[in-house]
A = this chain, B = another copy of it.
Amino acid sequence: MPSANVYNVTEWSVGDPYEDVGVVINSMIADIKRRQAVSDLNDGGKPGAVIYIPPGDFRLVTQVVIDISFLRIVGSGHGFTSSSIRFNTPLHEMKQWHEVWPGGSRILVDISGEASEGEAAGAAFLVKRAGNPRISSVEFADFCIDGLHFSGAPSDDAENSYRNGKTGIHVASANDSFRITGMGMVYLEHGIVLYHSDASTIDNNFIAECGNCVELRGMGQASKISNNLIGAGYIGYSICAENFGGLLVSGNNVFPRGRSSIEFSGVARSSITGNRFHSFYPGMLVFSGNCSENLVSSNHFLRDREPWAPMTRYDNGLDDQFGLLHLNGDNNSVMSNHISASIDPGFLKPADEKPVIIRLVSGRGNYIANNHIVATTASSQANDTPNSACFSTQVEAILSTKNLTALDVIAIKVEPGSVRNTILDSGSDAQVLIDRAVNAFRGTPVPGQ
């Protein structure tokens, strides 16, 4: 007898998965709760279930609400394709296209959540449960959540607004041991929002062309954001966390745009290691609200200018004095990072001041050592070739490292409010602004001519 705990959205008696897969999944969850009603029966009782979403286009009109532990929703394809390129391609050209929509095991988020009701209302998948224990081991794997369209301002460019009030997965209650792996998310205002997470795994997902990608909110501990391909819009965060301890952000390839690539607020004793970050704006890493005892090491940071014409009108509003890395907090370690900044001086804001790479705004006891800062001028030109050339435009920009001229920057600026820091081998005497009376400093030796 096959297990009743294995569900397939295309083989269920309630609802039409192509018209509203939300009704189907909610019906399955009700069935699981009906069948698994006793919490302690023969040393078990509520093992949960797996719901399979085969490849296909499944519209979601009704929000899925998950309030049981051990539920796995799994598909057979993350199905990402660039909707951003598609919506910036002339219609006549697109008629020749092989396909125009994302695919795989694809959820078309067609929910009517009002932005005014908050993010939870616009979530395709909402996880919420009161009482004890915390909801545990809900898993999302290997399917696609597609928000279809952006609809925000400016109205003449809505599809580039990164706003539509839609969220992929919103976890509102305290939770334990969740796993989100192999997912694809595209054209959502928020990809993943987890409140009060303990021991979460967010690994090997593809979350791009979303307003925000991964947000750890409320508070939390001992989680892992790793090995993902991530890239938010200019309005939001690629990765953010607040009031979190013991977070490990490692092995991610975080591409533009992203208001910030990664932003921590009140985060302590966490790690950002071995990532590759690429951004078009200042403030690509931000520590706000006192972040302490964190490690930032072995990361590659690249900031250059937006090379793709449809997006050059947007940025995150920050100027180059903000700092490419903008840090507040105590006893952090910033070690062994490579930081490349390549900017046409004509685009610096303000144009007459040296841009700041690492800015230590407040806090004490930080240790900044062995960072290699490479600043060059780039003669970036916005590309006006057909939109489908986006790929080669981007690759050309990133490979343009020859014949660059050195750009004069402030490698590190330690503000007066920040004291007792140690800065070693991360910039020459001339490149570091620091009060040596209250901080320790050893300049990187300068090669002769």
Q: Does A101 contact B (CB under 8 A)?
A: yes
Contact A2 B11 (CB under 8 A): yes
Contact A198 B447 (CB under 8 A): no
Closest chain B residue to A76, Cβ basis: B50
- Whole-angstrom CA separation of A262 from B132 in the bound complex: 33
Please indicate the chain B residues that have their CB under 8 angstroms from the CB of A436 in the complex. 448
Instruction: Name A304-356 residues within 8 Å CB distance of B.
Output: 330-331, 333, 335-338, 340
- Whole-angstrom CA separation of A401 from B246 in the bound complex: 13
Please indicate the chain B residues that have their CB under 8 angstroms from the CB of A273 in the complex. 274, 298, 300
Closest 5 CB pairs of A and B: A44-B57, A245-B398, A70-B103, A3-B54, A50-B76
Give chain B nearest CB distance to A249 CB in angstroms: 10
Contact B69 A55 (CB under 8 A): no
1/0 contact trace for A229-252 toward B, CB 8 Å? 100000000000001111110110
- Whole-angstrom CA separation of A447 from B330 in the bound complex: 14
Q: Does A56 contact B (CB under 8 A)?
A: yes
Q: Does A370 contact B (CB under 8 A)?
A: yes
Contact B99 A133 (CB under 8 A): yes
Contact A199 B206 (CB under 8 A): yes
Give the segment of A118-126, A158-166, A280-288, A418-426 that binds chain B.
A418-426
Closest chain B residue to A110, Cβ basis: B43
Set B135, B245, B437: member contacting A395, Cβ < 8 A: B245
Contact B78 A374 (CB under 8 A): no
| Number of chain A interface residues as a range | 35 or more
Closest chain B residue to A95, Cβ basis: B39
- Whole-angstrom CA separation of A8 from B99 in the bound complex: 24
Give chain B nearest CB distance to A12 CB in angstroms: 10
Q: Does A382 contact B (CB under 8 A)?
A: no
Give chain B nearest CB distance to A68 CB in angstroms: 8
Give chain B nearest CB distance to A342 CB in angstroms: 8
Contact B444 A39 (CB under 8 A): no
Contact B221 A48 (CB under 8 A): no
Contact A69 B331 (CB under 8 A): no
Please indicate the chain B residues that have their CB under 8 angstroms from the CB of A359 in the complex. none
Q: Does A45 contact B (CB under 8 A)?
A: yes
Give chain B nearest CB distance to A171 CB in angstroms: 14
Contact A391 B198 (CB under 8 A): yes
Closest chain B residue to A54, Cβ basis: B3
Q: Does A439 contact B (CB under 8 A)?
A: yes
Contact B251 A78 (CB under 8 A): no
Contact A448 B444 (CB under 8 A): no
Please indicate the chain B residues that have their CB under 8 angstroms from the CB of A15 in the complex. none
Given contacts A6-B54, A174-B391, contact A81 B137 (CB under 8 A): yes
- CB pairs A–B below 8 angstroms (10 shown): A48-B103, A55-B72, A201-B204, A222-B278, A224-B227, A246-B255, A247-B276, A248-B276, A268-B398, A336-B370
Instruction: Name A397-444 residues within 8 Å CB distance of B.
Output: 397-399, 401-402, 419-422, 424-425, 436-442, 444
Closest chain B residue to A40, Cβ basis: B100
Q: Does A98 contact B (CB under 8 A)?
A: yes
Closest chain B residue to A19, Cβ basis: B42
Contact A448 B441 (CB under 8 A): no
Please indicate the chain B residues that have their CB under 8 angstroms from the CB of A80 in the complex. 136-137, 176-177, 199
Q: Does A219 contact B (CB under 8 A)?
A: yes
Set B104, B129, B294: member contacting A72, Cβ < 8 A: B104
Contact A437 B445 (CB under 8 A): no
Given contacts A246-B302, A278-B246, contact A177 B148 (CB under 8 A): no
Given contacts A46-B99, A46-B101, A77-B72, contact A290 B251 (CB under 8 A): no
Give chain B nearest CB distance to A411 CB in angstroms: 12
Set B59, B96, B132: member contacting A97, Cβ < 8 A: B132
Given contacts A8-B2, A181-B204, A336-B335, contact A139 B298 (CB under 8 A): no
Set B3, B79, B297: member contacting A298, Cβ < 8 A: B297
Contact B336 A132 (CB under 8 A): no
Q: Does A223 contact B (CB under 8 A)?
A: yes
- Whole-angstrom CA separation of A286 from B144 in the bound complex: 38
1/0 contact trace for A178-210 toward B, CB 8 Å? 010110100000000000101101011010100
- Whole-angstrom CA separation of A270 from B222 in the bound complex: 25
